[in-house]
Structure 1
Amino acid sequence: MQPDTVGRQSKAAQRAGKAILGLPEQFGPMRTNRMLLALLLLAFAAMPGTLGEVTRGALEDAYVGVAVFVAATLLLFYGAEKAFGFDIGTTFRNAKLAQVPLAALLGAMPGCGGAVVVVAAYSSGNVSMGAIVATLTATMGDAAFLLIAKRPEAAMILLPTSFIIGILSGYIVDLLDKRSYASETAQLEIPMIGRARKRDYVYLALILPGLFFGIAALAQVEFSGLIADFSTALALCGITVSMLVWATSPIHSMTNPDDSAVTRVTEETSFITAWVILAFLLFEYVNAFTGLDLESLFNTVGIALPLMAILVGFIPGCGPQILVTTFYINGLVPFSALIGNAIANDGDALFPAIALNPKAAFVATIYSSIPAFIVAYGFYFFAPNFL
């Protein structure tokens, strides 16, 4: 079968799938696996009994406890970026010795956008290897949103610590490694969606009241009756829209900087929310249906636990890191494992780094693993019960 025939059949299947689900043609390219997973998730939430109750609770917690804060943070960040736009490449070139702390600052910001900016600047020859190491060491990726929402006191320690370690690591690398790993051929290509869509404004409209319930939850305000029912219904509506966006998204995880701020918020928050839901459901399902004592299981690993968390950090993407953060939030792993994972992981920034320059990505990952190991085991031996 010819490639163009396969392409036509694939597009026809996409159109048929959207027609069955009642989605308009312009809604986006449907990803069948994601759509089936989203429909299965919503089916579980509609079921009676323990399965439905556990699923609804996890979805509400993911939306009200995490997604609304991710969206609010990204809206502030991308809105400011649009309002005060500047050429980051020129800024880095002129920064000289300030390159490393600037790169670490971008990496330390929640999410992966700042780190991706530095990766792209390195590919263009505007920053040093030390800047790449600084941003990848400082970044916690999308897991930072989850930690800030659920354990802000831990985030207030971890994020500044990673930022400082990123600066130190970057300067040391620039001092000791004078080689250039820059690639002149690779290009960072992120699909552009274009102007804001109706679903972006629908998503934002659901986020605003959700933020009220999220702040109330942080203040430990409990609702009952109709207000509690409304909170659950709002969360399920928000999750449904989020899953539809995620299942029909043309992007991998990061959006194009030229897209509207509202579109970028909708797309990236939906992507992050999908991973948060997966992590929350995994934990809740294991607790509710297997009888497995995860805390005892992790305790048997002992001294190897921080090392395991660091190795998980080497996996590209934010999903595995969100899972480690979820384990920490639920008291299953110590702070030493969390900070080791946070320093070692590069989040979604590792994907463009690999695409742009695999050698530089590998070297930077190895460099960032050294402070991760030192800091993680420093906390493990000298502050085992920290936070």
Structure 2
Amino acid sequence: MIREILNIILASAENAFLQVSVFVGVVLLLFGYINYKKSGKFVESIEKSKKIQPILGALLGLTPGCGGAIFIMPLFVKGKVSYGTIIATLIATMGDSAFVIISTLPIQYIVVSAISFIVAVITGYIVDYYKVGEKLIKNITKLPNQEIKKINEESDHTVQNMSINYMHIGHEEGDEIDIALHHNAKGHQNINSIGYKITHSGFYIYWGFIFVGFILGVMLLFQIDVNTLGIKNLGKIIGIIGTVISIIMMIMSNKFLQDDTHEEEELKRMSLKETLIHNAQETAFVSTWVYVAYLIYEISIFIIGNGNYASGELILTNIMVSQGLLAVIVGALVGLIPGCGPQVIFVTLFTRGMVPFAALVSNAISQDGDALFPLLAIDKKSSLWATIITTIPALVIGVIIYFVEIKMGLF
């Protein structure tokens, strides 16, 4: 029994890294470089386009990861975008879980993104039509200028003192948003901490494992047994070590539910090196949660099949069919949890065939990723209403798609 569980733990580490994590890393690096090059210019264009802001917000939300959505949040409090734009952005974003489905099921990603975009735009315009944002922004408590100045003078400005061209996106240095996002909330790592030194020097090694693992992962796609190459058990070695490094990187980054902060997203736009460092941390974060999802899946199969894998898969399929509607509701409820960790697990379980497509759509619409954290730091009431509003269409659309799947015999 113990030996079988140990084998599951090691095999899950190998498979999670080579089948998903390495592809997530490469895709994330590609989008990270694109985001670095555009340096928040799209955010500026949204500020100037009042009538189509929900559409532009939804488009920015569709970009994989949380960066685009994170930048939009302070703009509402500044009065530069409508609340409907915030809602559209949050509905459209899949956060870091987008990287998982892009890397494994790209067609399904396109379909989910199209559905999310349409729902996001419609919901955004409805919210603006009923002027929900105007009521919320009137009740946001503003700090007196003198108090803001005092807090700013007493705050840690380590990031601004680093040797990079640091600039804010969506707000200014020393304003109320700066206080909330950079000084009263979790931000950059202390440059003297062990975690900082490991993540800011070990990222080279981590990317090395990602790229070697990527080559092996591509070989696996062509049905090549990577454990019988020149080096015996090469796939196992790279996969297991890669997962272990991912876990260490995540712990040293001090990230568990939340991956990116507003401050870190700004840093990635200022320096290519910071982009590589933080993308390594983000890859490690996603990789660790993918590994957790693989463990959940494999151990579930082992337990319900009483050690018989084929039997376990059959029983699990029957459970999924009989509890499909419940899975849709669970998908929406998981989406209520701020942060990307639980969402990565849910999406990974979909890629493993453990939840129906309708549940994936429900979760994609409901979840806000890390983008909710900046809004939560600035104004709790606005973030609470955003969570409630995004969950309503998630349940409605999820249930509709579920019954469509039933009628068409797809589920």
Same fold (TM over 0.5): yes
Offset at residue 131 of structure 1 (A): 0.8
Q: Give 1:76's match in structure 2, choosing from 6, 12, 30.
A: 30
Q: Is residue 84–residue 133 contact of structure 2 (8 Å, CA) maintained in 1? A: no
Secondary structure of residue in 1 paired with 2:51? helix
Tell me the CA shift for residue 381 of structure 1. 1.4
1:88/1:217 CA distance change after superposition, 3 Å: same
In structure 1, the residue matched to 2:181 is 188
| Alpha-carbon distance between aligned partners in 2 of 1:338 and 1:179, rounded to the nearest angstrom | 28
Equivalent residue, structure 2, for 1:146: 100
Indicate yes or no: 2:368 matched with 1:379: no
> Which amino acid counterpart does residue 236 of structure 2 have in structure 1?
T
Q: Distance in 2 between matches of 1:151 and 1:297?
A: 23
> Are residue 96 (structure 1) and residue 50 (structure 2) matched?
yes
How far does residue 175 in structure 1 lie from its aligned partner after superposition?
Answer: 1.8
DSSP 3-state at the match of 1:191: coil
Cα offset, 1:168, TM superposition? 1.9
Q: Which residue of 1 aligns with 2:206?
A: 203
* Residue type at the aligned position of 1:301: Q
Counterparts of 2:320 and 2:282 in 1: how far apart (Å)? Answer: 32
Residue matched to 1:276:
290
Look up the match of 1:175: 129
d(CA) in 1 for partners of 2:133 and 2:87?
14
The amino acid of 1:192's aligned partner reads: H
Taking the aligned partners of 1:156 and 1:87, their CA distance within structure 2 comes to 25
1:331 to 346, 353, 365: 353
Residues 66 and 145 in structure 1, CA contact (< 8 A), matched pair in contact too: no
- In the TM superposition, residue 298 of structure 1 has moved relative to its aligned partner by 3.8
Q: Find the counterpart in structure 1 of residue 260 from structure 2.
A: 254
Indicate the residue corresponding to 1:37 in structure 2. none
**How far has the Cα of 1:128 moved from its partner?**
0.9
- Superposed CA offset, 1:250-275 (max 9, x none): 45511512151111111111111121
- Report the count of equivalent residues: 341
Alignment-mate amino acid for residue 105 of structure 1: L
Which residue is 2:308 aligned to?
none
CA distance in 2, matches of 1:209, 1:69: 11
The 3 A distance-change label for structure 1 pair 201 and 311 is same
AA of the residue aligned to 2:13:
L
Partner amino acid for 1:213? L
Measure, in 1, the Cα distance between the counterparts of 2:76 and 2:15: 38
Secondary structure of the corresponding residue to residue 52 of structure 2: helix
Q: 1:314 aligns with which of 336, 356, 359?
A: 336
**Deviations, residues 55-80 of structure 1 (Å, cap 9, x unaligned):** 22211222122222222222222223
Change (3 A) 1:224 1:247: closer
Deviation at 1:87, TM superposition (A): 4.6
The whole-number CA distance in structure 2 between the counterparts of 1:378 and 1:220 is 38
Q: Structure 1 residues 302, 197: CA separation in 2 closer, same or farther (over 3 Å shift)?
A: closer
Correspondence 1:123 to 2:94: no
> Closer, same or farther in 2 for the Cα pair 1:80/1:325, shift >3 Å?
closer
Pick which of 320-329 and 358-367 moved more: 320-329
Quick one: which amino acid aligns to residue 92 of structure 2? A
Cα deviations by residue, 1:8-57 (Å, 9 ceiling, x for unpaired): xxxxxxxxxxxxxxxxxxxxxxxxxxxxxxxxxxxxxxx99422322222
Shift of 1:219: 4.3
Structure 1 unaligned runs (5+)? 1-46
Aligned-residue sequence identity (percent) comes to: 32
Instruction: State the distance in 2 between where 1:302 and 1:225 align.
Output: 40
Q: Conserved in 1, the CA contact under 8 Å of 2:181 and 2:187?
A: no
Amino acid at match of 1:61: N
2:169 is the alignment partner of 1:215: no
Q: Give how far 1:335 is off.
A: 1.0
Separation of aligned partners in 2, 1:66 and 1:129 = 35
| Gap change, CA 1:123 and 1:300, over 3 Å in 2 | same
Q: What is the DSSP-based 3-state SS (H/G/I as helix, E as strand, rest coil) of the residue aligned with 2:95?
A: coil
Does the CA-based 8 Å contact 1:89-1:126 persist in structure 2?
A: no
Root-mean-square deviation (CA), in Å? 2.6
Counterparts in 2 of 1:38-53, with a 5 A limit? 49-53=3-7
Q: Which amino acid aligns with 1:377?
A: V
Aligned to 1:243: 247
For residues 382 and 82 of structure 1, what CA distance do their matches in structure 2 show? Answer: 41
Q: CA deviation at 1:245?
A: 1.3
Checking the alignment, whether the CA contact within 8 Å between 1:150 and 1:329 is kept in structure 2 is yes
Q: In the alignment, does 2:9 pair up with 1:55? A: yes
1: CA distance, partners of 2:332 / 2:132:
27
SS in 1 for 2:229: helix
Instruction: Give 1:160's aligned residue.
Output: 114
CA distance in 2 between counterparts of 1:158 and 1:84 reads 25
Structure 2 unaligned segments of length 5 or more: list them.
Answer: 143-175, 269-273, 306-311
Q: 1:170 to 1:244 in 2, by over 3 A?
A: same
Q: Is the 1:120–1:188 Cα contact (8 Å) retained in structure 2? A: no
Q: Tell me the SS of whatever aligns to 2:49.
A: helix
Q: Which residue matches 2:62?
A: 108
Given the superposition, is the C-alpha separation of residues 48 and 334 from structure 1 closer, same or farther in structure 2, using an over 3 Å criterion? closer
Q: Is the 8 A contact 2:87 2:386 kept in 1?
A: yes
Alignment partners' CA distance in 2, 1:314 and 1:160: 21
Contact 1:109-1:139 at 8 Å conserved across structures:
yes
| Cα deviation, residue 138, structure 1 | 0.8
2:77 & 2:236 partners in 1: Cα distance? 45
Which residue identity is paired with 1:379? I
* Larger displacement relative to structure 2 (331-340 or 130-139): 331-340
Question: Contact between 2:219 and 2:226, CA under 8 Å: does it hold in 1?
Answer: no
User: TM-score, normalising length from structure 1?
Assistant: 0.80
The normalised TM-score by structure 2 is: 0.75
